[in-house]
Structure 1
């Protein structure tokens, strides 16, 4: 029986190559995201970056990612996910060369923002392609689990690769290697990926693109600048600007006939679970865990490479848990609840790790927290696809990941604030990143424990709420709009599958 022209041929090996390209590119984006974690002091010395410059180097990529994820997702659905992927790899190559040759802090920060924008294009394109290539059911659960596992693997390998290349050559070597990897991924994508897009293209929503992109960028700029004090006039002005821009975005979307982000999606429990779950994951998991290696270095005197190796236990467990999550046979909502519960329990087990360090307790905490993180990554990847109408998978990925990276930026800022405030009475310099003696180390260790307890409380309460909501009203399958399910007559491959959030 001949293959229908608008339906993908799944009889060959192309889905395997598609999944390989999607997972490898996602892994590399996350490696780049965590690159400065172990080499920031060397970068700061070479670029003459002060504390403020270091903060912007760390957060430049998050700013680019969060600002453009939803925009890139909408563009990918309308104009082609393969096209967006190839564009992302090309821009990534440019940004990596900029970073490798940067001679000033400003150039490095701009390069990281460019890399973040490229990473946004790659992430939304790959998850959208997976949603198209793998139909609802076991194959999609496996594919989204692998994609989610790539997040954990990238977080694990980024600091290790960066520290290793810096020791062998220079911190710049990582960016040269990333430039070569971007070129190779672009070639792999051009040879293996098939184009897919929504059945009917929507008109460009330019006002939404401008207000959302600018609003998220200004919000993250305010959070980044706020690390030197949230009461400063500049920071308050940035927060006010972000509120105005994001309010304008909501107003624009409420009035347009073909919005980039349909506000009606927020009436769907599955979409709220996807976006809310990603926000809490960023805030309560990524935010705290991103700060923990820095605290270990300051209080325990570890080298960057030793810290990266211990941190890899958490992210490596996350990778393993995400790849095996499908074997548990849980719906996405129950998996999300279990992930939050394990992440919260792991945070409690890590109490004292920055002070009176215990190998056994720390290993247990990292493994339990890593299992929770892996389950969350896998479940959120499924929800990002299954909570939106067919044909809008990249937009769903953009919304999900925008919430994740906004949450992580806010989480890191909140963690620093908690550590600084709680540690003030137990030592000097807590949380500043410049530990001057035993008193400062004691203050930082106490502040980290307070942050871990706060994160655990948030995660455990969220787990209980997700479980209660699931029992009270199981998530319904997303309804597909007619405009998203009709072929456009131009040979584009159309997404037609959707499953209940709680099903397989």
Structure 2
């Protein structure tokens, strides 16, 4: 029978995964590990927005705190992305992947045990740092393990599908967890998942690194982080304080100066973490604009769409989760089609087409929100179309950016790709929140021209934007603001956000097409012909 057959079942399982694996088995374990990590990252993006109304009630959070619960995660991702790419290239992608999984599990535990909004925001920042590192390693590990065209395409398709599962089912999973248990488990569920992913990585992922062993770019990391944090703080806090306020101006100055320092440092650094020379590869730059376009539209609106369904349309948490499936499920089923289309027609056609579809979906959502008796049915066509556009765009963007550079620089390329996504996402989370409040303010002024301006009016608009109609009811007693006026203002605010998402996506379509079709295009081959 042999020693393996005599072992108890748990020890026998450990024996099996620690035994040397064949190349095909390592392929399976690598894909499984990366897909499980992408599932966690996808769930963390889409399940948390679905519970924001619950967090607002349970933790007594205001609108700005809700923004920071999400933005702390994205800003933290940005702070580590480029550093992780360098560290992974230098010290080993498997090693950094293992560390990021351990930290993601621990910080998810911190978030689940948070007792107020401030602690949760801090936990989300730590979780975002580990999540960003984990995401970079996913792409780098896949790029290193699967280098040939057809196999590479299948691996990235699997990654995109599982990422889509996390995104697609995240809203309903978050809503169901809250309904059956408590909001804490939306975070705590990631801890056992991280343990399983860790076992798969240790068993099946081979170590790889960049033979050049570049140094860590500390000035670049600090300056980029300050630039993103300063700009996000300026947009989020500046409106309430007044953009001419000293602290708001100071945050803008910090953002601008930090960005200039970052650019100068990268151009002078011998081995920069952001190698601007890759931007000369037009296929890389065009795909990068596609990544930015998704984060000017689809992804930041993921945070505000649950608030729209609950606060404007009046759905409960589970109903909101079900309604959001139309927005997210296409990201599950469409990525394989996007890969096939990219193989046949090339990414310079598919990526702009996907962005155009996202923009059209947003304009349809704006129409669906403006009709009489708006509901999930009137929003359905736009949600489906926007999700389809995302599914067409996302995986070809990732495959093109990493496939446009030498394999040994996969960590750097994926770092630039994900950094562009997270930076644009962090800024647009803040910007969409600002547009939402401004739309509500505009509606209140038009409907009630005698209403006095001032800080109290903005606080009222922020209360309406978060669905906190208690503040409106108190104002009703003093200034006779009907609740239907508040509902109309909320609908207009969301309409402004949807219009912004559509226009922004189409602007990036034009920019991407211009770069892709430049006469100086470099014909790298991330997709075989």
Where do residues 76-155 of structure 1 align in structure 2 (5 Å cutoff)?
Answer: 76-155=88-167
The alignment status of 1:373 with 2:418, answered yes or no, reads: no
SS at match of 1:203: coil
Once the two structures are TM-superposed, the CA of residue 47 in structure 1 deviates from its matched residue by 3.6
The alignment status of 1:264 with 2:277, answered yes or no, reads: yes
Say which one has the larger Rg.
2
The alignment status of 1:462 with 2:496, answered yes or no, reads: no
- TM-score, normalised to structure 1, is 0.87
Where do residues 37-436 of structure 1 align in structure 2 (5 Å cutoff)?
Answer: 37-226=49-238, 228-229=240-241, 231=243, 232-328=245-341, 329-356=344-371, 357=374, 360-427=377-444, 429=461, 431-435=465-469, 436=472
Say whether the 8 Å CA contact 1:145–1:381 is kept in structure 2. Answer: no
Once the two structures are TM-superposed, the CA of residue 120 in structure 1 deviates from its matched residue by 0.7
Per-residue displacement from partner, 1:362-407 (whole Å, max 9, x unpaired)?
A: 2222221111001111121112312333211122112111111221
Once the two structures are TM-superposed, the CA of residue 213 in structure 1 deviates from its matched residue by 3.4
Write the distance in 2 (CA, Å) between the matches of 1:25 and 1:100: 19
Write the distance in 2 (CA, Å) between the matches of 1:224 and 1:184: 38
Once the two structures are TM-superposed, the CA of residue 273 in structure 1 deviates from its matched residue by 1.9
Structure 1 unmatched ranges of 5 or more? 1-8, 478-498
Say whether the 8 Å CA contact 1:144–1:382 is kept in structure 2. Answer: yes
Write the distance in 1 (CA, Å) between the matches of 2:376 and 2:183: 30
Say whether the 8 Å CA contact 2:311–2:466 is kept in structure 1. Answer: no
Write the distance in 2 (CA, Å) between the matches of 1:62 and 1:270: 26
When structure 1 is superposed on structure 2, of 218-227 and 81-90 the one drifting more is 218-227
Once the two structures are TM-superposed, the CA of residue 449 in structure 1 deviates from its matched residue by 2.5
Per-residue displacement from partner, 1:178-209 (whole Å, max 9, x unpaired)?
A: 11111221122111111111122112323223
CA RMSD, Structure 1 to Structure 2 (Å): 2.5
Write the distance in 1 (CA, Å) between the matches of 2:216 and 2:138: 22
Task: Call closer, same or farther: CA 1:41–1:364 in 2, change over 3 Å.
Answer: closer
Per-residue displacement from partner, 1:77-114 (whole Å, max 9, x unpaired)?
A: 11111111111111112211211222233322111111
SS at match of 2:345: coil
When structure 1 is superposed on structure 2, of 94-103 and 369-378 the one drifting more is 94-103
Write the distance in 2 (CA, Å) between the matches of 1:50 and 1:170: 20
Q: Which has the higher helix share?
A: 2
Say whether the 8 Å CA contact 1:63–1:217 is kept in structure 2. Answer: yes
Write the distance in 2 (CA, Å) between the matches of 1:227 and 1:83: 43
SS at match of 1:202: coil
Once the two structures are TM-superposed, the CA of residue 290 in structure 1 deviates from its matched residue by 3.1
The alignment status of 1:444 with 2:478, answered yes or no, reads: no
Once the two structures are TM-superposed, the CA of residue 321 in structure 1 deviates from its matched residue by 0.7
Task: Call closer, same or farther: CA 1:150–1:411 in 2, change over 3 Å.
Answer: farther
Structure 2 unmatched ranges of 5 or more? 1-20, 446-460, 473-482
Write the distance in 1 (CA, Å) between the matches of 2:80 and 2:328: 25
Write the distance in 2 (CA, Å) between the matches of 1:465 and 1:287: 20
Task: Call closer, same or farther: CA 1:121–1:442 in 2, change over 3 Å.
Answer: same
Per-residue displacement from partner, 1:333-360 (whole Å, max 9, x unpaired)?
A: 2110110111111112212333432555
Write the distance in 2 (CA, Å) between the matches of 1:202 and 1:129: 18
When structure 1 is superposed on structure 2, of 433-442 and 400-409 the one drifting more is 433-442
Once the two structures are TM-superposed, the CA of residue 265 in structure 1 deviates from its matched residue by 2.0
Task: Call closer, same or farther: CA 1:48–1:288 in 2, change over 3 Å.
Answer: closer
When structure 1 is superposed on structure 2, of 306-315 and 348-357 the one drifting more is 348-357
Say whether the 8 Å CA contact 2:282–2:515 is kept in structure 1. Answer: no
Say whether the 8 Å CA contact 2:293–2:355 is kept in structure 1. Answer: no
Task: Call closer, same or farther: CA 1:472–1:109 in 2, change over 3 Å.
Answer: closer
SS at match of 2:142: helix
Say whether the 8 Å CA contact 2:78–2:419 is kept in structure 1. Answer: yes
